Amino acid sequence: MEVLRVENLAKHFPILGGVLQRTVGYVYAVNDVSFKVEEGETHGLVGESGSGKTTVGRMIVRLIDPTSGKIIFDGEDVTKIKGNKLKEYRRKVQMVFQDPYASMNPRMTVKDMLFEVMKIHGISRGSEYERAVELMERVGMSEEHLYRYPHELSGGQRQRVVIARALSVNPKFIVLDEPTASLDVSVQAQVLDLLKELQDKYRYSYLLITHNLSIIKYISRRTTVIYRGCWVETAETQDLFSDMQHPYTQALISAVPIPDPTVKRNKIILKGEPPNPVEPVKGCPFSDRCPYVMDICREKVPPTTDVGKGHLVRCWLKK
């Protein structure tokens, strides 16, 4: 059962300049992203800086409105909804931000935060405290943590608190933006396991946005790789790693350092710099850095090729 589908999402931020504040250009943050997420599963969205992955996440939760494209949630087109419908949508789709400390009000205790959310949505009226304790326990923390301020919590604890806050509205779908980026390695696994556990128990669906390929491999079922705001490859995560199709995916995976000095492999070192999103995309988004680039790549957008089992790639090499 499909819970979320995005089709050809694009976001171009206008750049204003000059005395009269005219639009002098655009930041082409997202150009053409499409993927779908099945209920109860984790879908990974992988890309580096400038790929637009965070912008995609923000569009899905409607913090930003797409320039074009569609977002379909539970069969309904939610791209342009407003007002009460939007509020309803926000109950079902939540987001956990990259830096948990920055996404909490430093002057509120955990209890204040959870209570505030519950009051706004009218959840657990009369039994807010019990609910708050239950949420804490769900994320592996205890009642006493309710009385802490963000700066009194460790990195891992803060991450759990923002997860608890997202869970307090009983969402169906959670966008996780770099959930382990601010955590120490020794603690990352705890948070990932927690997310997995919650998914198993409560059937949450996740969009995991990250540049960290190893956590993608660990918890996401399917993954979409994006470059310069366009999707270039999408597949079941296992297939993505064992049978990489797109040259960018190959370079990306080979660039990840492996903590075992005895493993020898060929690293593909990409030339050039990460894309400048002020330039619009012509043809294949990867054409300026691809080691196998051909003339057609610069001219025309590569068509989608299905290499089997829903493993899709957009590359002229496959034609």
Q: 84-87 long-range CB contacts below 8 Å, 24 or more apart?
A: 86/62
CA gyration radius for the chain?
A: 21
Q: Does 256 bind another protein (CB under 8 A)?
A: yes
Cα angle for residues 181, 184, 187 (degrees, 5° grid): 105
Q: Are 199 and 42 in contact (CB under 8 A)?
A: yes
Nearer to another protein, 8 or 109 (CB): 109
Nearer to another protein, 29 or 270 (CB): 270
Question: Which residues contact residue 160 at a Cβ distance below 8 angstroms, ignoring those fewer than 6 apart?
Answer: 139, 140, 141, 191, 194
Q: How far apart are CA 5 and CA 52, in angstroms?
A: 17
Residue 87, number of CB atoms within 10 A of its CB = 12
Burial letters for 132-148: b for 16+ Cβ neighbours within 10 Å, e otherwise? Answer: bbebbebbbbeeebbeb
Stretch that binds another protein, among 4-12, 34-42, 99-107, 125-133 (CB under 8 A): 99-107
Nearer to another protein, 8 or 99 (CB): 99
Q: Which of residues 35, 73, 97, 204 is near another protein by CB under 8 A?
A: 97
Q: Does 236 bind another protein (CB under 8 A)?
A: no
Stretch that binds another protein, among 27-35, 254-262, 277-285, 294-302 (CB under 8 A): 254-262
Q: Does 63 bind another protein (CB under 8 A)?
A: yes
Q: Which of residues 83, 185, 266, 319 is near another protein by CB under 8 A?
A: 185
Give which of 213, 221, 224 is closest to 195, Cα–Cα.
221
Nearer to another protein, 102 or 294 (CB): 102
Residues that bind another protein in the complex, under the rule CB under 8 A: 48-49, 58, 61, 63, 87, 90-91, 94-95, 97-99, 102-107, 109, 116-117, 120-121, 144, 147, 149, 151, 154-156, 162, 165, 169, 184-190, 192-193, 211, 213-215, 217-218, 241, 251-263, 267, 269-270, 272-274
